A and B are shown apart, each in its own frame.
Chain A
Amino acid sequence: MLSFQESLGKFTVTCEVGPLKGCDVSEIIEIAEVLKGKVHAANVTDQQSSVLRLGSMVTCHILKSNGLEPVLQVTGRDRNRIAIQSDLLSAAALGINNVLALTGDYQTHGDHPEAKGVFDLDSVNFLATLSTLNSGKDLAGKELTGVPNFCGGAVVNPGAAKEAAYQLQLIKMEKKAAVGAKFFQTQAVYDLKAFEQFMNDTAHIGVPILAGVIPLKSAGMARYMNKNVPGVSVPDIYIERMAQAEDKRREGMKITAELIRGLKDLCQGVHVMAIGTEKDVPEILADSGVL
């Protein structure tokens, strides 16, 4: 199997691993066993939705030690520029070089709403910081001992509905590419036609785009996302299928495989976010024909 960086520009398959709340890592080791050799890399989320969990870097290290290449997700919500740079150097020292740079969800939406948010660097500043570190210097212009080789990526929400929200996504994507983003992973895609339009609108950017997919677990989940997750719109046909299905888990996997089949010719990869059902990913990939 190609490494994550070798796969970029061909067809990259990534998935997502969400650390649990606590220090028991047995589940993570099991997931690594199931996914290794099946995906180019697994993203590890960083206190996703501002909910406290085991750290992303340590989880990446455990995945890597168990044969699964990680993508370290790092947000600027909980770290200032000193902590961000230090954490990145720590990751490089552990051989973790793939980094997804995120602004971060707002802290009041998580399980510690009293926390002070940091937001010292936004995601574009963060990507520029990765490029600076790759040049052998820190943000203060001081020389580093050892030069890291980060492959920085970013997120984009291709389904933003309103003109301003959509155009702001495209402009920010251009900025992210200009400061060194090497790949993009998207918010969940369910509408292939709208996604094709997005791919046309961003063709000039020339950075590989990995389309996000989330296996549905129920019709209620689809309705919830349509109502509450900006940019996600699950078509009625899928909601109907989920509502009718006897085995909802299987039906969700089947829909995801169909989506991946449709995405194969549209973009440069897929990013499967199987929240809590990571072990289903190999079967979804096999069914979609990308494995």
Chain B
Amino acid sequence: MILSETKPFAEILTSLENDDKVFLLGCKGCAEASKTGGLQQVKEMKEKLEAEGKEVTGSTAVDFLCQKALVRSRLTPLKEKVLAADSVLVMSCGIGVQASAASISRVCRPACNTIPLGDSRGEWPSRERCRECGDCVLDFTGGICPLTKCSKSLLNGACGGASDGRCEVTPEKPCGWELIYYRLKGLGQLDRLKVYIQPKNFAKMEIPENVIPSTLYDIEFTEDGRAK
């Protein structure tokens, strides 16, 4: 289980400022449970974006956005609506955004921040990782997470130490920033690399107190009635 919260609507609108047409993609897994990406929230987001003059070319919620095969198969019948959009607004955790960005040839923007559960993140079989930083930057990096793909978690570009595309720290891995470069280049979005990203607010990576005594964190505590 991964917990997410919807980004402030103003931040979402800023990320969509150059996109007139948007496809909405929700997730019926953790995001539905978090009330951030279920069909109900997708419907509400559609209304809010239309009220702001955006055209929503289509919307759906996939059972588990973290499964790339599922993303591809579920979106195939909706391909025209997806491709008619300038971008896809993904209403899920950071893994769902990364899995969507890896599967869809459109810019995928995060609508949510993934909030920390204190290293309790579930098993995830593929290569994407989410550090639950509480302040998702995937909108600036082509849907590839610099915190988890770059060994130094750099926010503003490569360290310059990569050799032939391999990470200086872990040569078995590709340089995360080179992956970001090629993804953004393919999307015609290289200008995103020029946006200055503020230092991370590490306070957002502390586990929120209200999460701890909940079924999300410790089901036994809650069932015993000892939760505060």
Q: Which A positions have Cβ atoms within 8 angstroms of B?
A: 81, 103, 105-106, 108-109, 117, 119-125, 128, 139, 155-157, 160-162, 164-165, 167-169, 171-172, 174-175, 178-179, 187, 228, 230-231
Expressed in whole angstroms, the Cα–Cα distance for A28 and B199 within the complex equals 35
Whether A125 and B199, one on each chain, are in contact in the complex, defined by CB atoms closer than 8 angstroms, is yes
Whether A157 and B160, one on each chain, are in contact in the complex, defined by CB atoms closer than 8 angstroms, is yes
Closest to B191 in A: A171
B196 partner residues in chain A, CB cutoff 8 A: 124, 128, 175, 178-179
Does B207 lie at the interface of the complex (its beta carbon under 8 Å from any beta carbon of A)?
A: no
Expressed in whole angstroms, the Cα–Cα distance for A167 and B158 within the complex equals 10
Expressed in whole angstroms, the Cα–Cα distance for A165 and B176 within the complex equals 11
B159 partner residues in chain A, CB cutoff 8 A: 103
Whether B160 and A124, one on each chain, are in contact in the complex, defined by CB atoms closer than 8 angstroms, is no
Expressed in whole angstroms, the Cα–Cα distance for A171 and B181 within the complex equals 10
Closest to A103 in B: B159
Are A120 and B152 also in contact (CB < 8 A) when A168-B181, A171-B193, A175-B157 are? no
Whether A119 and B169, one on each chain, are in contact in the complex, defined by CB atoms closer than 8 angstroms, is no
B35: min CB distance to chain A, Å:
32
Does B168 lie at the interface of the complex (its beta carbon under 8 Å from any beta carbon of A)?
A: yes
Are A106 and B160 also in contact (CB < 8 A) when A120-B199, A168-B181, A179-B196 are? no
**Of B156, B158, B193, which contacts A165 at CB under 8 A?**
B158
Expressed in whole angstroms, the Cα–Cα distance for A125 and B156 within the complex equals 8
Main secondary structure of the interface of B (DSSP, over half): loop
Closest to A106 in B: B169
B169 partner residues in chain A, CB cutoff 8 A: 106, 108-109
Does B83 lie at the interface of the complex (its beta carbon under 8 Å from any beta carbon of A)?
A: no
The 8 closest A-B pairs by CB, nearest first: A124-B156, A172-B157, A164-B178, A157-B160, A164-B181, A168-B158, A106-B169, A230-B163
Instruction: Given contact pairs A125-B198, A164-B182, enumerate 18 new A-B contacts (beta carbons under 8 Å).
Output: A103-B154, A106-B151, A106-B161, A119-B152, A120-B200, A122-B155, A124-B156, A125-B155, A155-B160, A162-B164, A162-B165, A165-B158, A165-B165, A168-B177, A171-B190, A172-B157, A175-B156, A178-B196
B224: min CB distance to chain A, Å:
36
Chain B count of residues within 8 A CB distance of the other chain: 30
Whether B168 and A168, one on each chain, are in contact in the complex, defined by CB atoms closer than 8 angstroms, is no
Expressed in whole angstroms, the Cα–Cα distance for A172 and B181 within the complex equals 12
Does B127 lie at the interface of the complex (its beta carbon under 8 Å from any beta carbon of A)?
A: no
Whether A164 and B165, one on each chain, are in contact in the complex, defined by CB atoms closer than 8 angstroms, is yes
Expressed in whole angstroms, the Cα–Cα distance for A122 and B5 within the complex equals 27
Expressed in whole angstroms, the Cα–Cα distance for A155 and B157 within the complex equals 13
B130: min CB distance to chain A, Å:
18
Expressed in whole angstroms, the Cα–Cα distance for A231 and B160 within the complex equals 8
Whether A81 and B199, one on each chain, are in contact in the complex, defined by CB atoms closer than 8 angstroms, is yes
Whether A171 and B194, one on each chain, are in contact in the complex, defined by CB atoms closer than 8 angstroms, is yes
Does B104 lie at the interface of the complex (its beta carbon under 8 Å from any beta carbon of A)?
A: no
A168 partner residues in chain B, CB cutoff 8 A: 157-158, 160, 177-178, 181, 193
Expressed in whole angstroms, the Cα–Cα distance for A119 and B154 within the complex equals 8
Expressed in whole angstroms, the Cα–Cα distance for A164 and B194 within the complex equals 14
Expressed in whole angstroms, the Cα–Cα distance for A105 and B168 within the complex equals 9
